[in-house]
Amino acid sequence: GVGTSISNAPTINFAMDIVEIEGTPIAKRGKMAGAKDIWRCESCLHGVVTPVDRTPEGKCPHCGGKLEKATKPLMRNGQIVSELPSPSQLRQRVLSVLPRLEPIR
């Protein structure tokens, strides 16, 4: 409500739509049905969304940089399946990305 906008930092409008139920793609008209993947540009951090079984065509539409899948499994059935970065590695990654982010207005 209005109190949140006055007392906190600017809010972000976040809405979700149901696009798949138990593996069956469904969506309202005009929405992209089915599971999705997101690909992130290494250079400008632009995101590209594709159906889960497709890779984006070509390079980043904004800068021509390389697109990499933004998500990867870290755990499966309670077991770690990917090497986890150390806290100092995470800090370095955040510090390298921060200058490339656009400010929230």
pLDDT given at position 92: 96
Residues of the chain whose pLDDT is less than 70?
A: 1-15
As a whole number of angstroms, the distance between CA 72 and CA 80 comes to 12
Cβ 26 vs Cβ 35: under 8 Å? no
Residue 88's Cβ-count burial label (10 Å; 0-12, 13-18, 19+) is exposed
Quick one: which of 37, 39, 4, 5 has its CA closest to 20?
37
* Residue 75 tokens, joined: 């755990």
Q: What is the pLDDT of residue 7?
A: 61
